[in-house]
């Protein structure tokens, strides 16, 4: 796939298109590694193909040895969000070289765990968390088919091999269905991995929705830009444990779990949709970049693009109900409702109206006493929550092997009367906003 993208591309064009500026030393080193591989793909495609496995293995060892998983995942999100920003700008023609950069980078994650496992997040110690691939070994059969194309392998032979692995595939249409679902779901898991840890593990889907079949949702009533504008004036935060939303008359959408995370000076909304068949998929909305992700975002197909835009519209409308004074805003704009709170649905409506009930998990007495967890859900009323500021104390942090603290960090440590040892740096104090339930 990478070779197809850079075919007939001259070196100067490649370098100008994949140039990524960053002041982060880890990102600089990773940039150098992956750029060198793309240069090799242009200059010597055969050598690139033959040595790619060794490159991935060596880079994985480098990342593991220096405990750079967090930095690597952050770098992946930086590259993905940079690519997405170019995609959203209709005046920019996104170069194939940048897609090649994305392809070569995200494939690296498959080398952190053994096949058929896949990394879906990092725990609090910065270690990879793994799950089974969406469709184990499907790609190995695909690769076998690719390698034997010259021998004119019959499609029926491929289907037989896949059926032995548990896939019910009898024709090309079913084959493409599985292949597309595998691609979209794997991409979803890898893109979401930057946000998943023990605190956000509920966002990780358990039983995966077959996204290539699409999903129905209420028709878009208003332009998504209206919701994006409202979200620039949020008045509320979500509870720390998130909000569970239960829907009626919303197509195949049965439930959505919403959770906010604070990372890199931005708020990101994470969501997980549960369809009426019980299957799940997830995505996010980066408030700072106004970047919305769903499994259909990068399909490059008209139908997939339409599903993505419908999902963006619906999710952001719900996010407005949870964090803004949307009802008052819609009145000012002279706009009627599309989505009703369950207790506000008109009794004399001539047709079933889309409605939602927002719930939050209340801390149980067992949790307060440290004896266990609770699943007591109560109706979420955003006006019963208030903003609070958490002050984070200064702290010492270990650096990767061979790294040294900056002069600024050493000077800051001295101000706080800390003495840094070799391999340590100093993190300044900072404030973090959160939203807590008002005291009764």
pLDDT of the chain, 440 residues: tens digit per residue = 888 888 777 766 666 665 666 677 877 788 888 888 988 988 899 999 999 999 999 999 999 998 889 889 988 898 898 888 877 776 667 677 778 888 888 889 889 999 889 999 999 888 999 999 999 888 777 777 666 655 666 778 888 888 888 888 888 898 889 889 999 999 999 999 999 999 999 999 999 999 999 999 988 878 899 999 999 888 888 888 899 999 999 999 999 999 999 887 788 999 999 999 999 999 999 998 999 999 999 887 889 999 999 999 999 999 998 988 887 777 777 667 788 888 888 877 778 889 999 998 876 555 544 455 556 777 777 666 555 556 566 667 777 777 778 888 788 777 765 667 788 887 776 655 544 555 55
C-alpha triplet 46, 137, 150: angle, nearest 5°: 45
> How many whole angstroms separate alpha carbon 6 and alpha carbon 95?
10
For residue 426, what is the enclosing H or E element?
A: strand 424-427
Three-class SS of 127-162 = CEEEEECCCCCHHHHHHHHHHCHHHCCCHHHHHHHH
Kindly provide the b/e burial profile for residues 255-292, where b requires at least 16 CB atoms within 10 angstroms of the residue's own CB: bbbbbbbeeeeebbbbbbbbbeeebbbbbbbbbeebbb
From CA 115, how far away is CA 136, in angstroms rounded? 8
- Is the dihedral angle over the CA atoms 370, 375, 378, 381 positive or is it negative? positive
Distance CA(370)–CA(356), nearest Å, equals 33
Q: Give the gyration radius of the chain's Cα atoms.
A: 24
Is residue 116 reached through a cis peptide bond, with omega within 30 degrees of 0 on the bond before it? yes
Please give the pLDDT value at position 158. 81
Q: What is the pLDDT of residue 60?
A: 95
Distances in whole angstroms, Cα of residue 340 to Cα of each of 44, 311, 357: 59, 17, 9
Q: What angle do CA 265, 266, 271 make, to 5 degrees?
A: 145
User: What is the pTM assigned to this prediction?
Assistant: 0.81
pLDDT of residue 291: 95
pLDDT of residue 2: 86
pLDDT on residue 421: 75
Q: What is the largest CA-CA distance in the chain?
A: 75
Residue 73 is encoded by which pair of tokens? 């995942």
**Nearest alpha carbon to residue 5 among 41, 40, 52:** 41
Distance, CA of 6 to CA of 322 (rounded, Å): 45
Tokens at residue 106, please? 């995200």
Number of alpha carbons in the 13 Å side-chain half-sphere of residue 241: 16
Cα–Cα dist 152/253, whole Å: 43
pLDDT of res. 224: 93
Nearest to 261 by CA among 180, 304, 197: 197
């Amino acid at each position: 796939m990478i070779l197809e993208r850079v075919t007939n591309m001259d070196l100067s064009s490649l370098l100008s298109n994949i140039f990524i500026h960053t002041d982060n030393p880890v990102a600089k080193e990773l940039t150098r590694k992956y750029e060198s591989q793309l240069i090799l793909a242009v200059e010597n495609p055969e050598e690139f193909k033959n040595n790619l496995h060794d490159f991935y293995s060596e880079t994985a060892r480098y990342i593991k040895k220096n405990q750079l998983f967090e930095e690597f995942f952050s770098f992946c999100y930086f590259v993905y969000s940079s690519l997405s920003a170019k995609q959203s700008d209709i005046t920019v023609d996104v170069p194939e070289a940048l897609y090649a950069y994305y392809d070569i980078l995200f494939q690296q994650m498959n080398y952190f765990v053994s096949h058929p496992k896949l990394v879906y997040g990092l725990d609090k110690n910065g270690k990879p968390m793994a799950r089974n691939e969406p469709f184990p070994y499907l790609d190995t059969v695909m690769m076998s088919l690719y390698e034997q194309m010259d021998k004119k392998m019959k499609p029926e032979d491929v289907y037989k091999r896949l059926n032995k692995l548990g896939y019910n595939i009898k024709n090309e249409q079913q084959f493409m269905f599985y292949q597309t679902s595998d691609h979209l779901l794997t991409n979803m898991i890898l893109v979401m991995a930057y946000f998943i840890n023990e605190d956000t593990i509920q966002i990780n889907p358990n039983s995966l929705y077959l996204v290539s079949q699409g999903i129905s949702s209420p028709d878009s009533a208003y332009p998504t830009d209206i919701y994006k504008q409202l979200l620039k004036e949020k008045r509320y935060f979500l509870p720390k444990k998130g909000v569970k939303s239960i829907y009626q008359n919303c197509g195949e959408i049965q439930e959505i779990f919403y959770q906010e995370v604070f990372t890199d000076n931005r708020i990101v909304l994470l969501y997980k949709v549960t369809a009426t068949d019980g299957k799940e998929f997830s995505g996010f909305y980066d408030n700072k970049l106004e970047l919305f992700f769903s499994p259909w975002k990068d399909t490059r197909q008209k139908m997939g693009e339409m599903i993505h835009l419908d999902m963006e519209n619906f999710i952001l409308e719900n996010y407005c109900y949870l964090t803004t004074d949307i009802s008052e805003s819609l009145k000012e704009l002279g706009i009627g409702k599309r989505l009703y709170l369950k207790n506000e649905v008109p009794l004399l409506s001539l047709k079933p109206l889309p409605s939602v009930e927002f719930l939050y998990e209340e801390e149980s007495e067992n949790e307060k006493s440290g004896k266990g967890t609770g699943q007591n859900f109560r109706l979420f009323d955003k006006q019963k929550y208030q903003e609070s500021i958490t002050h984070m104390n200064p702290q010492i942090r270990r650096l990767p092997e061979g790294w040294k603290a900056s002069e600024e960090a050493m000077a800051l440590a001295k101000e706080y009367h800390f003495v840094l040892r070799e391999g340590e740096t100093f993190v300044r104090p900072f404030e973090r906003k959160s939203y807590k339930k008002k005291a009764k």
